[in-house]
Structure 1
Amino acid sequence: MRRVGVPTLALTLALTLNLAGTAAAQTLAAPANPAAPANPAAPASALDNYASAAATTIIAEQACPGVQVRAGQLTTLRLAARVNAGQEAILEEKLRTRATQVRQQLAADGRETWCAQALAAFGPAGSVAKGILATGAPIR
């Protein structure tokens, strides 16, 4: 499988999650920058997709007022990606790399625009993975 850009990343993530039997993924329109691939020419993997989603949502919780990560939904995403113990070191590196890229995109887009895009991708009506980010009500 090849990645051309954000739409392919969104579709790959959604297909990975749907094939894993979760209801978290949505195959709707792709978000703009929050889930943009690090290297558009590289093939997408479930580990890459999880790292992108995790980095984006965790940084959104830190940067976007009133936004919280629903840990259970993020865990479901991780389980769907089938991250195993042998992949932990690889995942840590992917998370570090992706977090740096996400922070750079946040700085480039500005907080308001970036947060809107992150919520569109991972919020209650998320186009990449629905409900990982929540706004307003306390998260349990």
Structure 2
Amino acid sequence: MGDTFKRQRRSDVATIGSEGGGYPRRGEIWSVDLPNQPGDPHTPRPALIVSTDVRNRLAGDVVVVPLSTRLHRLPTHVFIPAGVGGIPLDSMAKCEQITTLDKQFLTDGPMGERVRDGLLAEIVYAVRRAIGEIIPLSDVPVRTRTSRRRTNP
């Protein structure tokens, strides 16, 4: 019975608009419910889809990085300015909180256009840092090496 419910919910998600049709795409920002998160007010929040398009089309779940408007400069946070990907406020991708969500937890999306490839590369780099991978300098996105992100103190 649970499998039937999930299949029905997945087909519901497949009808939600996504550029080029039918499923969440890598680099899109969606509104999601993050179940069982301590201290979470259980309201939908934006999250960036980081799983590949092939996986997103075929699997019943997606890999996401949650976004927050609390702007703390940490090695595993990546600044995303308001307007990018359709988000209304300056936000941080909290790459240490990468998670897999069943598609039934996608509540709405995409919020806007996909984020640019350079920003997605910064986020993937921060995820790699979060899981403790030793990253050669040649793999570090140029902007990450040279820029300072705007954050609140």
- The structure with the larger Rg is 2
TM-score by length of 1: 0.29
Give 1 or 2: higher strand fraction.
Answer: 2
Give 1 or 2: higher helix fraction.
Answer: 1
TM-score by length of 2: 0.27
